[in-house]
Structure 1
Amino acid sequence: MKSWYHPWIAALRIARRDAWRAKGRSFLVLAMIALPIMGVSAADLTARSADLSAAQSAERKLGAADARIESPEGGTALAQTPDGRNWKPLNGSTRPGRGGEAPDEQVVSAVRADLPPDAELVKQSEGRIRVRTEYGLLDVQARELDAAHPAVRGLLTLLRGELPDRPGEVVATEAFLKASGLHVGSGVTPRGSGITYKIVGAYEQPDDLAAKELLAPPGSLLGPLDKALRGAGMRGVVAHDSWYVSVGRGGFTWNMVKQANTKGALVVSKAVLVDPPADSEVPLYQVEPPESFGTPRLEAAEMAVIATVVGLTMLEVCLLAGPAFAVGARRSRRQLGLVGANGGDRRHIRAVVLSSGIVIGAAAAVTGIVLGLALTLGLQPVLEEQLGKRFGHFEVRPLEILAIAVLAVLTGLLAAVAPAVTASRQTVLASLTGRRGVRRAGRVLPVLGLIALAAGIGLVLFGAVADLGFMVVAGGSVVAELGIVALTPVLVGLFGRTGRWLPLSPRLALRDAVRNRGRTAPAVAAVLAAVAGTVAVATYQSSAQAQYVHQYTAQLPDGAGRLTLDESGGWRDMPAVREALSRDLPVAVRADVERISVGAPDCEPYAMTPGCGLAEVLVPKDQRCPLWEAPAEQRFSPEQARELGKDWRCQRPSGFAGIETAVADEKLLAVLGITDPGVVRALREGRPVSFDPTQVKDGKVTLRVVTDADQADEARERGEDPPGQDKVFPVHQAPASANAWGIRLLLPPGAVQAAGLRTAPYGSYFSLDGKASTEARQRLDGDIDRMGVDASVHIEEGPGSPDRMMTLILSVFAGLVTIGAAGIATGLAQADAEADLRTLAAVGAAPRVRRTLSGFQCGVVAAMGVVLGAAAGVLPAIGLLLVERREQVRLHEELVAHGFGQGHEPFVPIVVPWETLTGLLVLVPLGAALLAALVTRSSGALARRAQA
């Protein structure tokens, strides 16, 4: 007695033999399925290997220590999340008294008192410094840490050399050595220090491979450098201290963390990271919900997007592989007819064709997974460099790999379903004689496609209008696209009606495509899916670029530039920097700008440094914007805030200058493009010019000079004006059309001197005679580096051109898919059209007709798919843009309700990328047709006729 599986065994044997005989066709289908499987398996292996466990992540953050503590609020009691990433000061808490120790030291001493007697603490200090390299100056992170201490083992990986154990030695990361041009054994000198440190080793941070960092023994780098900088009148090093703690058995528990929080310490505990407490045990979650500190919705959205992309990829593979299986079924129709002639029924014929999908799908699964495994292992160093961190371990999850293999087999099986049904409906006589038979098109699939299309469009529009989020719109777009795929046979028929206006060869190609929709529709649908994704992304990117151009705020007039120094004390080098600017760039006009200096010569505006003050313009109280001056507890309704936003007192000058009160002559007006005669005349006559009417009262502006920045800070906290000496200047108010690009008050040098104020160099504004070449910019940067200063040069060049890389990649992908799908359909058409080609040759058709017909057959399929894909791709982009517009409108209303955002209405345009559409609609079908014509032999039909 034969069981149900015996026919399947025979079918699998037939399919395996047939696949081996037709190696070219089998390899094509196998490659189609194996390539996405390779990508999915490689992505799964990479994600799982890069995803660290809680214990591994804790070890990389803390090494062998049990916890790390710091004081982010200067000793103020706080509440924190279990992972220590977020915290909030507790209301009503006060900082501890300032004794002889720094606040951080006080916090650590208080926490140390609660720890076991044998607990160990290892101090770490971090700060940003500049060091001299082979090329100039480089900004790096500097750390002081006893890296040989057992408590910090595992924080870094020593690659070569040795750890520093004495002053004057440092180890450097590989990223620093690569960027600086230095090597192990070189000397590195921090800027502002006379000490050269020897690099005795190279290391890396497993969790941050791109970190440019130097590590020195405690007290040997940051402290001496800070002292040297301050002694030279420059800004010192801002260091941040933390402590690694080892407490022994039991670790640093959650109760110990909460106790440390009451003393102002923020704690990252290894025990808590591995076994976090329940939300009910976290005091911070009683004040704010845990959802406000996490991103579960974002992770769910990312998983949904990934699932959608994988699903659409498999759909394209099925649609592409389906015609290839149809080719096999066509070429094996005599064999299938023999199965029927020997007693096989329709289910046996279906089993043979479906077995082809199973066999090739299984082979593709094995090939794709093996290639994915080899690719991940071979590219692991490259993947780690791209991710910026080392894998914790190479992890293979058998169940997930098995699921990927099942997906490959299922893809092959689904791709063979339609050819199997078509082959089973052929009569035995038609199969043995090669006749095609006639079958009426079904009506169920088009109806379902029409319903899916309507439902998808409804979901897109409803999701955009009803504020249901991006995922609903994306899901509706996928449903609509599937509906168009289901409608493809009907749409192909509609395309056939245009054949009456075409010449002979394209008319024959179009008629053949319409008559054989079973092979044409899947290929058209595959092209549709690829092109739709490209068009959707291109439409979204074009709209985003238009929105960016609309919202772009220029810092200066087009072609103008600004040079400023980035560090305190650099004012001494300003003359040399200005000379280099004029020498290296084609400067037409250069306006040197000064700033008012209060206190030491290197004091910067608003620099809260002892001995430094500031000068700021006072706005009369009755001319201050109510939205900005209202107490924090006062709330305005959205309508009130919107109305107040239109008040002249709440209008501020647009642009960004970096300095609100500038000292310069009329050359600055020429650079900024200000040609108002009144403004030019006033500045030339030595009168200050105001570009903000809110600061002018009775034709005068009050400039308050504050000698103690700390007192000014305390006064602002109380909501009061800072105490100081007032300097009153009669000013000329510039018209609203005069744009000073963020400068609110422009003082001529004579007026500043007459007021007894001192100035210091701020920078230079300049206009160019032409454009600055890349070589000129590099030459200027090199000259500035050789001076030992750090300066910023900004040249206004507009919003810039959009990044078309993603669109280009997708367009190339769509073109390849289009050519591949059209080529498969053309191969099937040639297999089916042998009789027609023999007939054409018999009636006197030229040999090149075969080549011409093949090219038009491929071009027709590509053109139909591109047209339908372009129409289908615009829908999801429009839906996503409508949702984004709604989100921005809601955000704008919230900002207006809080007194911000006036005058900046949301602008989310919908821009169709005509360049991309033109390229897809014209170049891709034309390229597919030419390629098919070139690879087709023109003498095939005559040879076959001679053999007949």
Structure 2
Amino acid sequence: MKTWFHSWRAAIRIARRDAWRSKGRSALVLAMIALPILGVSALDLTLRSSELSPAERADRTIGAADARFSDPTYGGVPIFQDPVGDMNTPAKDYGDMAWPSGPTDVSKAVPAGATVLTDTSGSAKLTTAHGLLSTDVRELKAADPIARGIMPLLEGRYPEKNDEVIATSHFLETSGLSIGSTLSARNFDRPYRIVGAYEIPDALKADQVNALPGAFHAPYAKAVEKAGLQPPGATTTYLVRKPGGFTWNMVKEINTKGVVVTSRAVLLDPPADSEVPLYQKDGWGNYESSAAGNAAELAALGTVVGLAMLEICLLAGPAFAVGARRSRRQLGLVGANGGARSHIRAIVLSGGLVIGVAAAVTGTVLALILTLALQPVLEETMGQRFGAFDVRPLELLGIALLAVLTGLLAAIVPAVTASRQTVLASLTGRRGIRRSSRVLPLIGLTAVLIGGAIALFGSMVSEQFIIVAGGSAIAELGVVAMTPALVGLFGRTGRWLPLSPRLALRDAVRNRGRTAPAVAAVLAAVAGTVAVSTYMASTEAQYEAEYEARLPYGAVSAFVMEEGGRDVPAVREALQRNFPVDVRADVERVSVGKPGCEPWSSEAGCGRYEVVIPPGNECPLYVSVPGGGDPSDKFTPEQRRKLLTDDWRCNEPGSSGVIYVDGGLMVGDAKLLKVLGIEDAGAEKALAEGKIVSFSRSQIDKNGAIGIRRITDIAAADKASEEGRPAPGKVSSIPAYRVPGDPKTYGLQALMTPATAKAAGLSTVPLGAYASTDRMPESEARQKLDGEFNKLGSNVEFHLEEGFVNENSIILLALAIFAGLVTIGAAGIATGLAQADAEADLKTLAAVGAPPRVRRTLSGFQCGVVAAMGVVLGSAAGLLPAMGLRLTDERERIRYHEQSVAEGWSTDLTPPDLPIVIPWETLAGLLVAVPLGAALLAALVTRSRGALARREAT
């Protein structure tokens, strides 16, 4: 008795032999299905291996210690922290009171009898083979067993003396140094010898140097202070080992002493959220991602996977149809010997099953091999080492089942088509009369209308982009379902074409079973490309319209805020030497305190300045009130809107600049006005007379002067600001000249000469330079300038104004190339099937005297016709999702704008307008170049002469 098992076993054996006979076609389909499986499986292996277990994370964070103690700088007040130790806040709610700050004596929180290892981190500019490099410097006894795992040694040895260091491999590569080289720091003449190389497993690209505790930071700070500069700060944490470790209750007890604890025991066994006091505090809850957000992510992932499977099925389906057509005599023999239609379907479906299983095994095995082989490359790319090579069998099995499912889905339509063919037609090779389905186009049209309505609803009513994407996907599937009918409509254009393209088009229409899937595959690929390209081009047009130049076109600026502008002269010379400078304007900044103080520094001995705004010129919306709070809350929305639109104090025009200095005050000369394109003879005259040139009406008092307050006590100034009082400090009043009109100043609000600043008792330090150029600098000049800046070791804030730059052009080109490759592949598959089907027609053409080149020409036009139909339909289908998403973005922007206007926060009453731009260049490339390229490629790879025909056995 024969069962379904025996029939399917036989079908699979037949399919396996047929796949082995047709190795080329089988390899093509296997590759199409296996490549996505390879990529997804490799991604799964990489992500899972890079996810560290709590134990691995603890080893890299705290080594072999039981905990790391650190100072949150709250002055020792009790705190709350999360179990990991990343978040913390004072336990007390201070409200409007002064927030606690200051160092905490962490050593007092260490239990008696515990072993402690200090870990101090800071930064310094270290000498290299190329100049200077800003580098993290860490003081940790790395050879101690407690530090095991924090910085694994790659070669050499750990430091044993105070003049020895080890460095990360990335630092050695970047600096040009090696083991045995010496290095030192800027303003510090003590040499250190490199005795080893190590890595930080979680930051392989970090530039770091390690020394013994006390060997670098303390003497370096003294040397920097001796040079009259502000030394960089350093932070110290404590690695603690204690028998029994630190439980969560012990961590909370230590938190009462104002110390943060990262405990190994807590990392391995974290407490419930209800046991974490921090999570019970308002605004500090341990919020998980919302169910709606998870559902949206799953829906997006499902949509992407579904569309990818659809694309593969559409590409692989014609290939299975090729196999069914070439095996039709064999399938006819099965029917002649008593086989039912179900047996025919089983044989063709078994072909999909065999190829799917082979693709699943091949993709999974290759993913395992490649991920293992490329592990060092992947780790370097990700910047961190894997924990353990983590293989999740169930996840890989699920990914592999997608390959099997894809193979089966791709073979369904060819299986049904083959089973409907009569035994006589299969044995004689006759095609019979074929009629297209009249139901499928109606279903497709319905899907297009419903999908379009859903996308329209999502773009006009809802704010969920997933609705637009889902509706667009449904509409695209509807277009796919309508493809056979649309192919028929394309056939009506054949009457105006020459012979070869007319034959190709009529052949495509006559054999829609093989043409429609290939056209649909091209349609899907092109639709995605057109959608992304249109959205990106529209976004790019929006950014271009909103772009605000920070300098005149071709102008350049370079600033150094560190170390009192010590490297500014070298920056100016490098700029003059490498760029085609027309006019260079050197600028300085007002400095209060020690020369090495950076702006806004709160270190001892450092101060700041502020441009005094006269009380009558202050915008009421921004005047601080006693006790803190937002001063604008005392106004109604209508009052706020009136102030912003009608009160000159609240709507002074401004513009963004390349750098911020308090009050927009620069110290320079009239050359700066020329570089910025500001033409005003009165301004140049005012600078020569020792006045401040101002572009802000609010800065000038009733006496025509500008006041500059020097603040030496920052703590007192902050307290006065909280209480709504003026900051204490000496005010220098300097006569001012206001430039008439509202010229574009690129962030400059006030300008005075160095002589004027000196006369007013203000100290200045070099800041940098502005420069105009007589032509746009070339790429080679920019690279040379960057190289010279890197040798300085300072952070140079450099800007070259090039206008709006399209950063997505390379992405659009890549998308067009990708769509072209998929299009050519799909069209090539359809052409191969067409040649298999049209062999008799080609022999007939040769018999009636057609030249040999007709075969090559016809193949080219067959491929080009399929590509052209798919590109045209895909271009139309791809515009819908892009337009829907842009309309959704526009609604969101309009809603935000209306809310801002209603609440009185915006003076711009013009609603935003997000343009929808069609990338005609991309579309032209797809519509012209892709079909033409597909046709030429098919013509080149097709033989002009076919094999000699022999008489069929009767």
TM bin (shorter chain): over 0.9
Matches of residues 588-737 of structure 1 in structure 2 within 5 Å? 588-629=582-623, 631=625, 632=629, 635=633, 640-646=639-645, 647-651=647-651, 653-656=654-657, 657-659=659-661, 660-698=664-702, 699-737=704-742
The 3 A distance-change label for structure 1 pair 381 and 11 is same
User: 1:159 Cα deviation (Å)?
Assistant: 0.8
Q: Residue type matched to 1:276 in 2?
A: P
2:861 and 2:98 map into 1 onto residues whose CA distance is 87
The 3 A distance-change label for structure 1 pair 238 and 530 is same
Q: Does 1:462 align with 2:457?
A: yes
Any idea what SS the aligned residue of 1:934 has?
helix
1:59 paired residue number: 59
The 3 A distance-change label for structure 1 pair 208 and 306 is farther
Superposed CA offset, 1:382-432 (max 9, x none): 111111111111122222222222221111111110000001111111111
1:419 and 1:622 map into 2 onto residues whose CA distance is 84
2:480 paired residue number: 485
Once structures 1 and 2 are overlaid, which stretch shifts more, 217-226 or 471-480? 471-480
**2:668 and 2:751 in contact (8 A); partners too:** yes
1:899 and 1:620 map into 2 onto residues whose CA distance is 25
**2:37 and 2:363 in contact (8 A); partners too:** yes
2:575 corresponds to which of 581, 590, 599: 581
**1:76 and 1:93 in contact (8 A); partners too:** no
**2:324 and 2:418 in contact (8 A); partners too:** yes
User: 1:436 Cα deviation (Å)?
Assistant: 0.8
1:554 paired residue number: 549
The 3 A distance-change label for structure 1 pair 637 and 852 is farther
Superposed CA offset, 1:466-508 (max 9, x none): 4443333333332222222222212222222222222222122
Structure 1 length-normalised TM: 0.93
Matches of residues 82-231 of structure 1 in structure 2 within 5 Å? 82-92=83-93, 103-109=102-108, 111-112=109-110, 115=111, 117-231=112-226
Q: Residue type matched to 1:930 in 2?
A: L
**1:563 and 1:792 in contact (8 A); partners too:** yes
1:258 paired residue number: 252
Once structures 1 and 2 are overlaid, which stretch shifts more, 532-541 or 805-814? 805-814
1:763 paired residue number: 768
**2:589 and 2:765 in contact (8 A); partners too:** yes
The alignment covers a number of residue pairs equal to 939
Matches of residues 273-284 of structure 1 in structure 2 within 5 Å? 273-284=267-278
Superposed CA offset, 1:809-852 (max 9, x none): 33222211111110111111111112322332333322211111
**1:30 and 1:363 in contact (8 A); partners too:** yes
**1:222 and 1:237 in contact (8 A); partners too:** no
User: 1:185 Cα deviation (Å)?
Assistant: 1.4
Any idea what SS the aligned residue of 2:949 has?
helix
Q: Residue type matched to 2:552 in 1?
A: P
User: 1:767 Cα deviation (Å)?
Assistant: 0.9
1:473 corresponds to which of 455, 468, 473: 468
**2:166 and 2:209 in contact (8 A); partners too:** yes
**2:118 and 2:238 in contact (8 A); partners too:** yes
Any idea what SS the aligned residue of 1:527 has?
helix
1:235 paired residue number: 230
Structure 2 regions of 5+ residues with no counterpart? none
1:857 paired residue number: 862
**1:104 and 1:241 in contact (8 A); partners too:** no
Q: Residue type matched to 1:437 in 2?
A: G
2:759 and 2:578 map into 1 onto residues whose CA distance is 36
Superposed CA offset, 1:217-255 (max 9, x none): 111112211111111111212112222232332x32222
Once structures 1 and 2 are overlaid, which stretch shifts more, 784-793 or 705-714? 784-793
1:586 and 1:459 map into 2 onto residues whose CA distance is 57
2:5 paired residue number: 5
Structure 2 length-normalised TM: 0.93
User: 1:928 Cα deviation (Å)?
Assistant: 0.2
1:76 and 1:928 map into 2 onto residues whose CA distance is 73
**2:613 and 2:698 in contact (8 A); partners too:** yes
Any idea what SS the aligned residue of 1:940 has?
coil
User: 1:360 Cα deviation (Å)?
Assistant: 1.3
User: 1:711 Cα deviation (Å)?
Assistant: 2.9
1:330 and 1:442 map into 2 onto residues whose CA distance is 20
Q: Does 1:390 align with 2:385?
A: yes
2:918 and 2:868 map into 1 onto residues whose CA distance is 19
Once structures 1 and 2 are overlaid, which stretch shifts more, 633-642 or 556-565? 633-642
The 3 A distance-change label for structure 1 pair 737 and 80 is same
Matches of residues 768-807 of structure 1 in structure 2 within 5 Å? 768-781=773-786, 791-807=796-812
**2:562 and 2:596 in contact (8 A); partners too:** no
The 3 A distance-change label for structure 1 pair 760 and 896 is farther
Superposed CA offset, 1:303-346 (max 9, x none): 54444333322211111110000001111111111111111111
1:927 paired residue number: 933
1:602 and 1:593 map into 2 onto residues whose CA distance is 17
The 3 A distance-change label for structure 1 pair 603 and 147 is closer
User: 1:186 Cα deviation (Å)?
Assistant: 1.2
1:436 paired residue number: 431
The sequence identity of aligned pairs, in percent, is 58
2:818 paired residue number: 813
Any idea what SS the aligned residue of 2:600 has?
coil
Q: Residue type matched to 1:567 in 2?
A: E
User: 1:465 Cα deviation (Å)?
Assistant: 3.4
1:86 and 1:470 map into 2 onto residues whose CA distance is 33
1:935 and 1:399 map into 2 onto residues whose CA distance is 43
1:446 and 1:96 map into 2 onto residues whose CA distance is 71
Q: Residue type matched to 1:812 in 2?
A: I
**2:554 and 2:800 in contact (8 A); partners too:** yes
User: 1:369 Cα deviation (Å)?
Assistant: 1.4
**2:564 and 2:765 in contact (8 A); partners too:** no
Please tell me the root mean square deviation across aligned C-alpha atoms, in Å.
Answer: 2.9
1:162 and 1:592 map into 2 onto residues whose CA distance is 49
The 3 A distance-change label for structure 1 pair 323 and 637 is farther
Q: Residue type matched to 1:581 in 2?
A: L
Superposed CA offset, 1:2-33 (max 9, x none): 11211111111111111111111111111111
Any idea what SS the aligned residue of 1:2 has?
coil
1:210 and 1:149 map into 2 onto residues whose CA distance is 24
**2:132 and 2:792 in contact (8 A); partners too:** no
**2:230 and 2:597 in contact (8 A); partners too:** no
2:944 corresponds to which of 914, 922, 938: 938
